[in-house]
Amino acid sequence: DGGITQSPKYLFRKEGQNVTLSCEQNLNHDAMYWYRQDPGQGLRLIYYSQIVNDFQKGDIAEGYSVSREKKESFPLTVTSAQKNPTAFYLCASSIFHRGNTEAFFGQGTRLTVV
Amino acid sequence: QKEVEQDPGPLSVPEGAIVSLNCTYSNSAFQYFMWYRQYSRKGPELLMYTYSSGNKEDGRFTAQVDKSSKYISLFIRDSQPSDSATYLCAMSASLKAAGNKLTFGGGTRVLVKP
């Protein structure tokens, strides 16, 4: 089955700890994205990548880092510099199709600071 | 002020009623408009997209765009309990520009009661 796989589904982080969220896609999409979703605030873009070995900051990149060493993979690291990391994190990939960019989302990772 | 505003709801309707959802936006550069449906603890899935102004119908769903008023709508006819979800509007200025970034509304939670 083609799709986007995020892991883990639930993640707990201690104060001051870095954690990495995994995102893998087998859709052969060039573009990949990380969003953060908080209640009532919709999806906010953290980082995005158009091609391998290239990525750009989104609207809320502070305290996060990414890498894009392979087309299929776009891991997100939540660093200790992110002061309020508890949120639902969504990874997406996109393709320009039928005159539209259709973004496909993973099932998300819920990160909780304990 | 947020670029895209969406009433968070919840919007509660009886089964069979018409669900009416809308978003307003401030960026006149937006040309591509999408509606995503998100079930609880899942990633969003694309429902419909429209380009520029006009209407688009797909089964029980109708999307409308009024660029002059910076206002988009989604109507769900003959609503079913399975339509209970959060509906997110999303917009983009250019699908081929760097990032193909989508700007999301906060989402409206819809509850269809049997």
- Interval B57-113: pLDDT, tens: 999 999 999 999 999 999 999 999 999 999 999 988 865 544 567 889 999 999 999
What DSSP string runs through A43-100? EEEEEEESSTT--EE-SS-TTEEE--SBTTB--EEE-TT-S---EEEEEEEEEEETTE
Put simply, the chain B residues between 48 and 67 with a CB less than 8 A from any chain A CB are 49, 51
Partners of residue B88 in chain A, C-beta under 8 Å = 42-43
User: What pLDDT does A15 receive?
Assistant: 86
Which residue positions in chain A have pLDDT lower than 70?
1-2, 40, 96-101
Structure-token pair, residue A95: 């393709």
Convert the pLDDT of each residue in B65-81 to its tens digit: 999 999 999 999 999 99
Nearest by CB: A50 against B90, B99, B102: B99
Among B7, B36, B46, B48, the residue to mutate for chain A (most A Cβ within 10 A): B46
User: What pLDDT does B98 receive?
Assistant: 44
pLDDT band at B53 (very low <50, low <70, confident <90, very high): confident
User: What pLDDT does A101 receive?
Assistant: 67
- What is the average pLDDT across B21-39? 93
Q: Which tops the pLDDT comparison, B9 or A74?
A: A74
Put simply, the answer to whether A48 touches B51 (Cβ < 8 Å) is no
Nearest residue of chain A to residue B88 (CA atoms): A42
Return d(Cα A77, Cα A18) in angstroms, integer: 7
Put simply, the answer to whether A100 touches B49 (Cβ < 8 Å) is yes
Among A43, A56, A104, the residue to mutate for chain B (most B Cβ within 10 A): A43
Structure-token pair, residue B36: 């995503």
Nearest residue of chain B to residue A46 (CA atoms): B101
